[in-house]
A and B are shown apart, each in its own frame.
Chain A
Protein backbone atom coordinates (compact mmCIF):
# COMPACT_ATOMS: atom_id res chain seq x y z
CA UNK A 1 0.00 0.00 0.00
CA UNK A 2 1.18 3.47 -0.85
CA UNK A 3 -0.24 5.45 2.05
CA UNK A 4 -0.40 2.92 4.87
CA UNK A 5 2.18 0.66 6.47
CA UNK A 6 0.92 -2.13 8.72
CA UNK A 7 3.05 -2.39 11.87
CA UNK A 8 1.10 -4.96 13.83
CA UNK A 9 -2.03 -6.86 13.07
CA UNK A 10 -4.65 -8.51 15.19
CA UNK A 11 -2.46 -8.88 18.26
CA UNK A 12 -5.49 -9.61 20.41
CA UNK A 13 -6.42 -12.69 18.42
CA UNK A 14 -3.18 -14.60 18.09
CA UNK A 15 -2.90 -18.25 19.00
CA UNK A 16 -0.45 -17.75 21.88
CA UNK A 17 -3.36 -16.41 23.84
CA UNK A 18 -4.29 -19.30 26.01
CA UNK A 19 -5.59 -17.80 29.25
CA UNK A 20 -3.28 -20.21 31.07
CA UNK A 21 -2.98 -17.85 34.08
CA UNK A 22 0.73 -18.62 34.43
CA UNK A 23 1.83 -15.03 33.85
CA UNK A 24 2.84 -12.52 36.49
CA UNK A 25 0.28 -10.32 38.19
CA UNK A 26 0.96 -6.80 37.04
CA UNK A 27 1.35 -5.23 40.48
CA UNK A 28 4.10 -7.73 41.28
CA UNK A 29 6.33 -6.28 38.59
CA UNK A 30 7.27 -2.70 39.30
CA UNK A 31 4.26 -0.51 39.63
CA UNK A 32 2.37 -0.96 42.91
CA UNK A 33 0.56 2.33 42.28
CA UNK A 34 -0.77 1.90 38.79
CA UNK A 35 -2.06 -0.79 36.49
CA UNK A 36 0.13 -1.78 33.60
CA UNK A 37 -1.31 -4.98 32.25
CA UNK A 38 -0.37 -4.36 28.62
CA UNK A 39 3.34 -4.39 29.27
CA UNK A 40 3.36 -7.77 30.95
CA UNK A 41 4.87 -10.72 29.17
CA UNK A 42 3.01 -13.83 28.19
CA UNK A 43 4.56 -16.56 30.39
CA UNK A 44 4.91 -18.76 27.34
CA UNK A 45 6.80 -16.09 25.47
CA UNK A 46 8.74 -14.66 28.40
CA UNK A 47 12.02 -13.01 27.73
CA UNK A 48 13.94 -10.40 29.61
CA UNK A 49 13.93 -7.02 27.96
CA UNK A 50 17.60 -6.65 27.34
CA UNK A 51 19.31 -5.02 24.43
CA UNK A 52 21.02 -8.25 23.48
CA UNK A 53 17.71 -10.04 22.90
CA UNK A 54 16.28 -7.16 20.90
CA UNK A 55 12.55 -7.48 21.31
CA UNK A 56 11.86 -6.38 17.79
CA UNK A 57 13.77 -9.19 16.12
Chain B
Protein backbone atom coordinates (compact mmCIF):
# COMPACT_ATOMS: atom_id res chain seq x y z
CA UNK B 1 0.00 0.00 0.00
CA UNK B 2 1.35 3.41 -0.98
CA UNK B 3 0.19 6.76 0.31
CA UNK B 4 1.04 9.89 -1.66
CA UNK B 5 0.83 13.37 -0.23
CA UNK B 6 2.31 16.82 -0.56
CA UNK B 7 3.29 19.63 1.79
CA UNK B 8 4.01 23.26 0.99
CA UNK B 9 7.28 24.35 2.56
CA UNK B 10 8.74 27.82 2.00
CA UNK B 11 6.21 28.22 -0.78
CA UNK B 12 7.43 25.15 -2.63
CA UNK B 13 5.30 22.03 -2.92
CA UNK B 14 7.16 18.94 -1.75
CA UNK B 15 5.92 15.51 -2.81
CA UNK B 16 6.13 12.33 -0.73
CA UNK B 17 5.60 8.61 -1.14
CA UNK B 18 4.94 6.67 2.06
CA UNK B 19 5.19 2.90 1.73
CA UNK B 20 2.87 1.73 4.46
CA UNK B 21 3.96 -1.87 4.98
CA UNK B 22 7.71 -1.37 4.92
CA UNK B 23 7.74 2.04 6.59
CA UNK B 24 9.76 3.68 3.83
CA UNK B 25 9.52 7.37 3.07
CA UNK B 26 10.60 8.99 -0.19
CA UNK B 27 10.73 12.59 -1.32
CA UNK B 28 10.09 12.76 -5.04
CA UNK B 29 9.73 15.30 -7.80
CA UNK B 30 6.38 16.02 -9.37
CA UNK B 31 6.94 13.62 -12.26
CA UNK B 32 7.73 10.69 -9.92
CA UNK B 33 4.74 11.63 -7.78
CA UNK B 34 2.47 11.42 -10.82
CA UNK B 35 4.13 8.31 -12.23
CA UNK B 36 3.71 6.52 -8.93
CA UNK B 37 0.05 7.37 -8.79
CA UNK B 38 -0.43 6.26 -12.37
CA UNK B 39 1.60 3.06 -12.10
CA UNK B 40 -0.15 1.90 -8.93
CA UNK B 41 -3.56 3.06 -10.13
CA UNK B 42 -4.07 5.56 -7.31
CA UNK B 43 -6.76 8.20 -7.63
CA UNK B 44 -5.67 10.99 -9.99
CA UNK B 45 -7.35 14.22 -11.01
CA UNK B 46 -7.81 15.18 -14.66
CA UNK B 47 -5.26 17.91 -14.14
CA UNK B 48 -2.71 15.39 -12.87
CA UNK B 49 -3.31 13.18 -15.93
CA UNK B 50 -2.75 16.15 -18.20
CA UNK B 51 0.39 17.12 -16.31
CA UNK B 52 1.76 13.58 -16.53
CA UNK B 53 1.15 13.48 -20.27
CA UNK B 54 2.99 16.73 -20.70
CA UNK B 55 6.28 15.12 -19.65
CA UNK B 56 8.52 13.59 -22.31
CA UNK B 57 8.18 9.84 -22.74
CA UNK B 58 11.89 9.31 -22.04
CA UNK B 59 11.56 11.14 -18.69
CA UNK B 60 8.51 9.11 -17.78
CA UNK B 61 10.33 5.88 -18.62
CA UNK B 62 13.38 6.76 -16.55
CA UNK B 63 11.16 7.70 -13.61
CA UNK B 64 9.23 4.46 -13.84
CA UNK B 65 12.53 2.63 -13.84
CA UNK B 66 13.41 4.28 -10.51
CA UNK B 67 10.03 3.35 -9.06
CA UNK B 68 10.54 -0.27 -10.10
CA UNK B 69 14.01 -0.27 -8.54
CA UNK B 70 12.45 0.78 -5.22
CA UNK B 71 9.90 -1.98 -5.55
CA UNK B 72 12.59 -4.59 -6.27
CA UNK B 73 14.37 -3.49 -3.09
CA UNK B 74 11.21 -3.74 -0.98
CA UNK B 75 11.05 0.01 -0.51
CA UNK B 76 7.79 0.56 -2.35
CA UNK B 77 4.55 -1.37 -2.70
CA UNK B 78 5.63 -3.93 -0.11
CA UNK B 79 3.17 -6.66 0.69
CA UNK B 80 1.94 -6.92 4.26
CA UNK B 81 3.67 -9.76 6.07
CA UNK B 82 1.33 -9.59 9.05
CA UNK B 83 -2.32 -10.25 8.41
CA UNK B 84 -3.58 -11.06 11.87
CA UNK B 85 -2.68 -10.18 15.42
CA UNK B 86 -4.08 -10.83 18.86
CA UNK B 87 -2.76 -8.90 21.81
CA UNK B 88 -1.45 -10.91 24.72
CA UNK B 89 -3.46 -10.99 27.94
CA UNK B 90 -0.63 -12.70 29.82
CA UNK B 91 1.05 -9.47 30.79
CA UNK B 92 0.02 -6.30 32.65
CA UNK B 93 2.77 -3.72 32.86
CA UNK B 94 1.04 -0.42 33.27
CA UNK B 95 -1.63 0.96 35.60
CA UNK B 96 -3.47 4.24 35.74
CA UNK B 97 -4.40 4.88 39.37
CA UNK B 98 -7.40 7.14 39.74
CA UNK B 99 -6.30 8.21 43.19
CA UNK B 100 -9.00 10.81 43.45
CA UNK B 101 -12.49 11.11 42.02
CA UNK B 102 -12.74 14.76 42.81
CA UNK B 103 -11.31 17.91 41.34
CA UNK B 104 -10.95 21.53 42.38
CA UNK B 105 -11.65 22.62 38.80
CA UNK B 106 -14.73 22.37 36.61
CA UNK B 107 -13.24 22.20 33.12
CA UNK B 108 -16.05 22.33 30.61
CA UNK B 109 -14.78 19.51 28.42
CA UNK B 110 -13.73 17.06 31.15
CA UNK B 111 -14.50 13.45 30.19
CA UNK B 112 -14.30 12.57 33.90
CA UNK B 113 -17.33 14.71 34.77
CA UNK B 114 -15.66 17.10 37.23
CA UNK B 115 -13.35 14.28 38.24
CA UNK B 116 -16.07 11.96 39.52
CA UNK B 117 -16.47 9.68 36.46
CA UNK B 118 -20.20 9.67 37.21
CA UNK B 119 -19.50 7.98 40.53
CA UNK B 120 -19.46 9.30 44.06
CA UNK B 121 -16.59 11.58 44.99
CA UNK B 122 -13.97 9.28 46.36
CA UNK B 123 -10.32 9.03 47.31
CA UNK B 124 -8.17 5.95 46.92
CA UNK B 125 -6.84 4.74 50.25
CA UNK B 126 -3.14 3.94 50.62
CA UNK B 127 -4.12 0.30 51.20
CA UNK B 128 -5.88 0.04 47.84
CA UNK B 129 -2.99 1.82 46.16
CA UNK B 130 -0.55 -0.66 47.64
CA UNK B 131 -2.77 -3.56 46.57
CA UNK B 132 -2.58 -2.16 43.06
CA UNK B 133 1.21 -2.25 43.29
CA UNK B 134 1.05 -5.91 44.36
CA UNK B 135 -1.32 -6.63 41.48
CA UNK B 136 1.06 -5.02 39.00
CA UNK B 137 4.07 -6.91 40.32
CA UNK B 138 2.16 -10.18 40.18
CA UNK B 139 1.06 -9.70 36.57
CA UNK B 140 4.10 -8.07 34.99
CA UNK B 141 6.03 -11.32 34.63
CA UNK B 142 9.67 -10.73 33.77
CA UNK B 143 9.19 -7.21 32.40
CA UNK B 144 11.35 -4.87 34.48
CA UNK B 145 9.98 -1.46 33.50
CA UNK B 146 6.51 -1.11 34.95
CA UNK B 147 4.45 2.06 35.09
CA UNK B 148 2.00 3.76 37.35
CA UNK B 149 0.27 6.97 36.34
CA UNK B 150 -1.37 9.02 39.06
CA UNK B 151 -4.54 10.42 37.63
CA UNK B 152 -7.86 11.82 38.74
CA UNK B 153 -9.75 14.11 39.12
CA UNK B 154 -6.87 16.09 40.46
CA UNK B 155 -4.39 13.65 42.00
CA UNK B 156 -2.80 16.36 44.14
CA UNK B 157 -5.97 16.22 46.27
CA UNK B 158 -4.76 12.82 47.44
CA UNK B 159 -1.03 13.25 47.73
CA UNK B 160 -0.98 11.11 50.85
CA UNK B 161 -1.85 7.99 48.86
CA UNK B 162 0.51 8.94 46.05
CA UNK B 163 3.41 9.11 48.50
CA UNK B 164 2.48 5.85 50.19
CA UNK B 165 2.18 4.04 46.88
CA UNK B 166 5.56 5.28 45.70
CA UNK B 167 7.26 4.40 48.96
CA UNK B 168 5.72 0.93 48.92
CA UNK B 169 6.56 0.29 45.28
CA UNK B 170 10.16 1.40 45.76
CA UNK B 171 10.47 -1.01 48.69
CA UNK B 172 9.54 -3.87 46.36
CA UNK B 173 11.74 -2.99 43.40
CA UNK B 174 14.84 -4.91 44.39
CA UNK B 175 13.02 -8.01 45.59
CA UNK B 176 11.05 -8.37 42.35
CA UNK B 177 13.59 -6.87 39.94
CA UNK B 178 11.24 -4.07 38.89
CA UNK B 179 11.77 -0.46 38.04
CA UNK B 180 8.65 1.59 38.73
CA UNK B 181 8.22 4.51 36.37
CA UNK B 182 5.77 6.97 37.88
CA UNK B 183 3.95 9.63 35.90
CA UNK B 184 1.58 12.34 37.06
CA UNK B 185 -1.10 14.50 35.46
CA UNK B 186 -2.05 17.74 37.21
CA UNK B 187 -4.02 20.93 36.61
CA UNK B 188 -1.11 22.77 38.31
CA UNK B 189 -3.27 24.90 40.60
CA UNK B 190 -2.29 23.06 43.79
CA UNK B 191 1.43 22.80 43.14
CA UNK B 192 3.35 24.04 46.15
CA UNK B 193 7.13 24.33 46.15
CA UNK B 194 7.39 21.24 48.32
CA UNK B 195 5.08 19.26 46.03
CA UNK B 196 7.07 20.36 43.00
CA UNK B 197 10.24 19.02 44.57
CA UNK B 198 8.54 15.73 45.34
CA UNK B 199 7.12 15.31 41.83
CA UNK B 200 10.40 16.35 40.29
CA UNK B 201 12.21 13.70 42.25
CA UNK B 202 9.82 10.79 41.77
CA UNK B 203 8.10 11.20 38.41
CA UNK B 204 9.65 10.21 35.10
CA UNK B 205 7.06 12.35 33.36
CA UNK B 206 4.68 15.05 34.52
CA UNK B 207 1.80 16.32 32.42
CA UNK B 208 0.91 19.94 33.12
CA UNK B 209 -2.55 20.87 31.89
CA UNK B 210 -2.47 24.25 30.19
CA UNK B 211 -4.53 25.25 27.17
CA UNK B 212 -2.40 28.04 25.69
CA UNK B 213 -3.54 31.64 25.64
CA UNK B 214 -5.15 33.13 28.73
CA UNK B 215 -8.49 33.63 27.03
CA UNK B 216 -8.53 30.08 25.65
CA UNK B 217 -7.61 28.60 29.02
CA UNK B 218 -9.96 30.73 31.09
CA UNK B 219 -12.89 30.00 28.79
CA UNK B 220 -12.87 26.34 29.71
CA UNK B 221 -10.53 25.62 32.61
CA UNK B 222 -12.47 27.22 35.44
CA UNK B 223 -12.72 26.65 39.18
CA UNK B 224 -15.83 25.79 41.19
CA UNK B 225 -16.86 29.43 41.13
CA UNK B 226 -16.51 29.79 37.38
CA UNK B 227 -13.28 31.76 37.56
CA UNK B 228 -10.50 31.15 35.07
CA UNK B 229 -7.40 29.42 36.40
CA UNK B 230 -4.79 30.51 33.86
CA UNK B 231 -2.72 32.84 36.01
CA UNK B 232 -2.26 30.41 38.88
CA UNK B 233 -1.78 27.33 36.67
CA UNK B 234 0.77 29.11 34.47
CA UNK B 235 2.75 30.51 37.38
CA UNK B 236 3.03 27.08 38.99
CA UNK B 237 3.69 25.24 35.74
CA UNK B 238 6.54 27.59 34.87
CA UNK B 239 8.05 27.22 38.32
CA UNK B 240 7.86 23.45 37.99
CA UNK B 241 9.31 23.43 34.48
CA UNK B 242 12.25 25.47 35.66
CA UNK B 243 13.11 22.74 38.16
CA UNK B 244 12.73 19.95 35.64
CA UNK B 245 15.98 20.27 33.65
CA UNK B 246 16.25 17.23 31.37
CA UNK B 247 13.47 15.21 32.99
CA UNK B 248 10.33 14.69 30.96
CA UNK B 249 7.28 16.88 31.17
CA UNK B 250 4.59 18.10 28.80
CA UNK B 251 2.57 21.26 28.78
CA UNK B 252 -0.58 19.53 27.62
CA UNK B 253 -3.67 21.32 26.42
CA UNK B 254 -6.90 20.76 24.60
CA UNK B 255 -8.37 22.70 21.73
CA UNK B 256 -12.10 22.93 21.15
CA UNK B 257 -14.48 24.55 18.70
CA UNK B 258 -13.79 27.81 20.56
CA UNK B 259 -10.13 27.94 19.50
CA UNK B 260 -9.77 26.41 16.07
CA UNK B 261 -6.83 28.80 15.73
CA UNK B 262 -4.96 26.60 18.21
CA UNK B 263 -1.61 27.33 16.55
CA UNK B 264 -1.64 30.59 18.50
CA UNK B 265 -2.22 28.65 21.72
CA UNK B 266 0.78 26.43 21.05
CA UNK B 267 2.99 29.42 20.38
CA UNK B 268 1.64 31.16 23.46
CA UNK B 269 3.10 28.27 25.45
CA UNK B 270 6.35 28.47 23.49
CA UNK B 271 6.60 32.18 24.25
CA UNK B 272 6.26 31.38 27.95
CA UNK B 273 9.25 29.08 27.70
CA UNK B 274 7.75 25.59 27.42
CA UNK B 275 9.61 23.33 25.02
CA UNK B 276 7.65 20.06 25.36
CA UNK B 277 4.11 20.67 24.22
CA UNK B 278 1.04 18.65 23.39
CA UNK B 279 -2.21 20.27 22.30
CA UNK B 280 -4.92 17.78 21.46
CA UNK B 281 -8.37 18.05 19.90
CA UNK B 282 -11.20 17.72 22.37
CA UNK B 283 -13.18 14.49 22.12
CA UNK B 284 -16.86 15.12 22.76
CA UNK B 285 -20.19 14.12 21.19
CA UNK B 286 -21.15 16.39 18.30
CA UNK B 287 -24.07 17.92 20.20
CA UNK B 288 -21.68 19.48 22.71
CA UNK B 289 -20.96 23.09 21.82
CA UNK B 290 -17.22 22.58 22.39
CA UNK B 291 -16.98 19.53 20.12
CA UNK B 292 -14.92 19.45 16.95
CA UNK B 293 -17.53 18.68 14.32
CA UNK B 294 -17.42 17.85 10.62
CA UNK B 295 -17.94 21.48 9.66
CA UNK B 296 -14.75 22.40 11.58
CA UNK B 297 -12.54 19.88 9.83
CA UNK B 298 -11.30 21.98 6.91
CA UNK B 299 -10.37 24.77 9.29
CA UNK B 300 -8.56 22.42 11.67
CA UNK B 301 -6.63 20.71 8.86
CA UNK B 302 -5.50 24.09 7.53
CA UNK B 303 -4.49 25.11 11.04
CA UNK B 304 -2.28 22.02 11.30
CA UNK B 305 -0.66 22.97 7.96
CA UNK B 306 -0.06 26.48 9.20
CA UNK B 307 1.30 25.20 12.48
CA UNK B 308 3.65 22.69 10.83
CA UNK B 309 5.37 25.39 8.79
CA UNK B 310 5.69 27.68 11.80
CA UNK B 311 6.95 24.73 13.84
CA UNK B 312 9.75 24.06 11.36
CA UNK B 313 10.71 27.72 11.40
CA UNK B 314 10.66 27.91 15.17
CA UNK B 315 12.82 24.83 15.62
CA UNK B 316 15.57 26.55 13.64
CA UNK B 317 15.46 29.57 15.93
CA UNK B 318 16.07 30.08 19.63
CA UNK B 319 12.46 28.97 20.16
CA UNK B 320 13.09 25.28 19.54
CA UNK B 321 10.34 23.05 20.91
CA UNK B 322 8.91 19.61 20.59
CA UNK B 323 5.30 18.91 19.64
CA UNK B 324 4.01 15.58 20.93
CA UNK B 325 1.95 14.69 17.89
CA UNK B 326 4.78 15.45 15.47
CA UNK B 327 7.23 13.27 17.36
CA UNK B 328 8.12 10.36 15.14
CA UNK B 329 11.38 8.56 14.77
CA UNK B 330 11.95 6.90 11.41
CA UNK B 331 15.18 5.35 12.62
CA UNK B 332 14.55 4.14 16.16
CA UNK B 333 10.81 4.23 16.67
CA UNK B 334 8.75 1.56 18.37
CA UNK B 335 8.86 -2.02 17.11
CA UNK B 336 6.14 -3.48 14.94
CA UNK B 337 4.65 -5.41 17.85
CA UNK B 338 4.25 -2.20 19.80
CA UNK B 339 2.58 -0.61 16.81
CA UNK B 340 0.17 -3.53 16.57
CA UNK B 341 -0.52 -3.55 20.31
CA UNK B 342 -1.79 0.03 20.23
CA UNK B 343 -2.34 1.73 23.57
CA UNK B 344 -2.67 -1.58 25.40
CA UNK B 345 -6.02 -0.70 26.98
CA UNK B 346 -7.66 -3.75 28.50
CA UNK B 347 -4.58 -5.89 27.98
CA UNK B 348 -1.22 -4.62 29.23
CA UNK B 349 -2.63 -1.30 30.45
CA UNK B 350 -5.46 -1.07 33.00
CA UNK B 351 -7.00 1.56 35.24
CA UNK B 352 -7.86 1.27 38.93
CA UNK B 353 -10.71 3.24 40.51
CA UNK B 354 -10.54 4.63 44.07
CA UNK B 355 -12.47 1.58 45.30
CA UNK B 356 -9.97 -0.78 43.67
CA UNK B 357 -12.10 -1.80 40.69
CA UNK B 358 -10.16 -2.64 37.55
CA UNK B 359 -11.18 -1.16 34.19
CA UNK B 360 -9.69 -1.45 30.67
CA UNK B 361 -8.46 2.17 30.83
CA UNK B 362 -9.10 5.45 32.61
CA UNK B 363 -11.78 6.44 30.09
CA UNK B 364 -13.89 3.39 30.93
CA UNK B 365 -13.81 4.03 34.68
CA UNK B 366 -17.33 4.35 36.06
CA UNK B 367 -18.91 2.16 33.37
CA UNK B 368 -19.95 -0.95 35.26
CA UNK B 369 -20.17 -2.98 32.04
CA UNK B 370 -16.39 -2.83 31.86
CA UNK B 371 -15.36 -3.85 35.38
CA UNK B 372 -12.69 -6.48 34.89
CA UNK B 373 -12.14 -7.28 38.56
CA UNK B 374 -10.63 -5.62 41.59
CA UNK B 375 -7.23 -5.40 43.24
CA UNK B 376 -8.27 -7.74 46.07
CA UNK B 377 -9.66 -10.63 44.02
CA UNK B 378 -7.81 -10.01 40.75
CA UNK B 379 -9.26 -10.56 37.30
CA UNK B 380 -12.87 -11.70 37.65
CA UNK B 381 -14.10 -11.09 34.16
CA UNK B 382 -11.39 -12.21 31.73
CA UNK B 383 -13.81 -12.05 28.81
CA UNK B 384 -13.50 -8.28 28.75
CA UNK B 385 -9.75 -8.55 28.37
CA UNK B 386 -10.20 -11.14 25.63
CA UNK B 387 -12.47 -8.75 23.73
CA UNK B 388 -9.86 -5.98 24.02
CA UNK B 389 -7.09 -8.36 22.95
CA UNK B 390 -8.87 -8.86 19.63
CA UNK B 391 -9.36 -5.14 19.13
CA UNK B 392 -6.62 -4.46 16.57
CA UNK B 393 -6.04 -2.84 13.21
CA UNK B 394 -7.12 -6.15 11.70
CA UNK B 395 -10.45 -6.21 13.51
CA UNK B 396 -11.43 -2.73 12.38
CA UNK B 397 -12.55 -2.45 8.79
CA UNK B 398 -11.53 1.17 8.53
CA UNK B 399 -7.94 0.43 9.63
CA UNK B 400 -7.09 -2.25 7.10
CA UNK B 401 -6.35 0.11 4.24
CA UNK B 402 -5.30 3.12 6.27
CA UNK B 403 -1.80 4.52 5.81
CA UNK B 404 -1.64 5.61 9.48
CA UNK B 405 -2.41 2.24 11.03
CA UNK B 406 1.13 1.54 12.28
CA UNK B 407 1.25 4.94 13.99
CA UNK B 408 -2.06 4.96 15.86
CA UNK B 409 -2.29 1.20 16.39
CA UNK B 410 -6.00 1.36 15.66
CA UNK B 411 -6.66 4.50 17.65
CA UNK B 412 -8.28 5.08 21.01
CA UNK B 413 -10.72 2.31 21.86
CA UNK B 414 -12.51 4.51 24.38
CA UNK B 415 -13.11 7.17 21.75
CA UNK B 416 -14.51 4.52 19.41
CA UNK B 417 -16.82 3.18 22.08
CA UNK B 418 -17.92 6.52 23.51
CA UNK B 419 -18.68 8.09 20.14
CA UNK B 420 -19.90 5.15 18.07
CA UNK B 421 -21.10 2.67 20.70
CA UNK B 422 -18.75 0.06 19.24
CA UNK B 423 -15.25 -0.82 20.44
CA UNK B 424 -14.31 -1.40 16.79
CA UNK B 425 -16.13 1.68 15.51
CA UNK B 426 -14.55 4.50 13.55
CA UNK B 427 -14.37 7.89 15.23
CA UNK B 428 -14.06 9.58 11.88
CA UNK B 429 -12.98 13.03 13.01
CA UNK B 430 -10.25 11.57 15.19
CA UNK B 431 -9.04 9.40 12.30
CA UNK B 432 -8.92 12.32 9.89
CA UNK B 433 -6.90 14.42 12.32
CA UNK B 434 -4.55 11.53 13.06
CA UNK B 435 -3.89 11.04 9.34
CA UNK B 436 -3.23 14.72 8.84
CA UNK B 437 -0.78 14.82 11.74
CA UNK B 438 1.04 11.78 10.39
CA UNK B 439 1.47 13.33 6.94
CA UNK B 440 2.87 16.44 8.57
CA UNK B 441 5.12 14.43 10.88
CA UNK B 442 6.59 12.57 7.92
CA UNK B 443 7.08 15.80 5.97
CA UNK B 444 8.75 17.47 8.98
CA UNK B 445 11.04 14.49 9.45
CA UNK B 446 12.11 14.64 5.81
CA UNK B 447 12.54 18.42 5.72
CA UNK B 448 14.67 18.45 8.87
CA UNK B 449 16.71 15.50 7.69
CA UNK B 450 17.40 17.13 4.33
CA UNK B 451 17.99 20.53 5.91
CA UNK B 452 15.47 22.19 3.61
Q: Which residues of A contact B (CB under 8 A)?
A: 1-13, 16-43, 45, 48-51, 55-56
Query: Is the Cβ of A26 less than 8 Å from the Cβ of B22?
Result: no
| Chain B positions 233 through 273: 1 when the CB is less than 8 Å from some CB of chain A, otherwise 0 | 00000000000001010101010000000000000000000
Q: Count how many pairs of residues, one from A and one from B, have CB atoms less than 8 Å apart in the complex.
A: 221
- Taking a contact as CB atoms under 8 Å apart, the answer to whether A51 and B28 are in contact is no
* Residue pair A27, B343 in contact (C-beta under 8 Å): yes
Q: Are B111 and A28 in contact, CB atoms less than 8 angstroms apart?
A: no
Q: How far is the CB of A33 from chain B (nearest CB, A)?
A: 5
A3-B31, A16-B332 given; 11 more Cβ-contact pairs under 8 Å:
A4-B27, A4-B32, A10-B75, A30-B252, A32-B207, A34-B430, A35-B412, A36-B408, A38-B406, A39-B326, A51-B320
On whether A30 and B338 interact (CB within 8 A), knowing A3-B32, A3-B66, the answer reads: no
Contacts of B333 in A (CB 8 A): 11, 38-42
- CB-CB nearest 5 A-B residue pairs: A38-B407, A17-B335, A11-B23, A8-B330, A45-B332
Q: Are A18 and B145 in contact (CB under 8 A)?
A: no
**Residues of B at under 8 Å CB distance from A?**
17, 21-29, 31-32, 62-63, 66-67, 69-70, 74-75, 91, 93-94, 96, 111, 143-145, 147, 149, 151, 181, 183, 185, 205, 207, 246, 248, 250, 252, 254, 275-276, 278, 280-283, 315, 320, 322, 324-339, 341-345, 348-349, 361-363, 406-413, 415, 430, 434, 438, 441, 445-446, 448-450
Query: Can you show 11 pairs from A to B with CB atoms below 8 A apart?
Result: A4-B67, A7-B449, A10-B75, A24-B147, A33-B282, A37-B341, A37-B409, A38-B334, A39-B324, A42-B332, A42-B333
Give chain A nearest CB distance to B89 CB in angstroms.
13
Chain B neighbourhood of A35, CB < 8 A: 342-343, 408-413
Chain A residues within 8 Å of B361, by CB: 27
Partner of B334, one of A3, A10, A30, A42: A42
B349 touches A25 (CB 8 A): yes
On whether the beta carbons of B332 and A41 are closer than 8 Å, the reply is yes
- Known contacts A19-B337, A35-B411, A51-B320; is A25 also within 8 Å of B343 by CB? yes
Docked Cα-Cα span, A43 to B334, in Å, equals 8
Q: CA separation between A37 and B214, bound complex, in Å?
A: 31
A40 contacts across to B, CB distance below 8 A: 333-334, 338
How many angstroms between the C-alpha atoms of A46 and B75 in the bound complex?
26
**Alpha-carbon distance between A43 and B348 when the two chains are bound, in angstroms:** 16
Q: Known contacts A3-B32, A5-B28; decide if A37 and B74 are in contact (CB<8 Å).
A: no
Is A25 a contact of B330 with CB atoms below 8 Å? no
Return the chain A residue nearest B67 by Cβ.
Answer: A4
Closest to B276 in A: A49
A12 close to B336 (CB less than 8 A): yes
Set of chain B residues within 8 Å of A22, measured between Cβ atoms: 143-145
Return the contact of A5 from the options B26, B93, B328, B408 (Cβ within 8 A). Answer: B26
Among B75, B411, B448, point to the contact of A9 (Cβ < 8 A): B75
Residue of A nearest to B33 (CB): A3
A7:B412 contact, CB within 8 angstroms:
no
Q: Given the complex of chains A and B, what is the CA–CA distance between A50 and B350 in angstroms? A: 30
Given the complex, which residues of A lie within 8 Å of B183, measured CB to CB?
Answer: 28-29
Check B24–A1 contact: CB distance below 8 A.
no
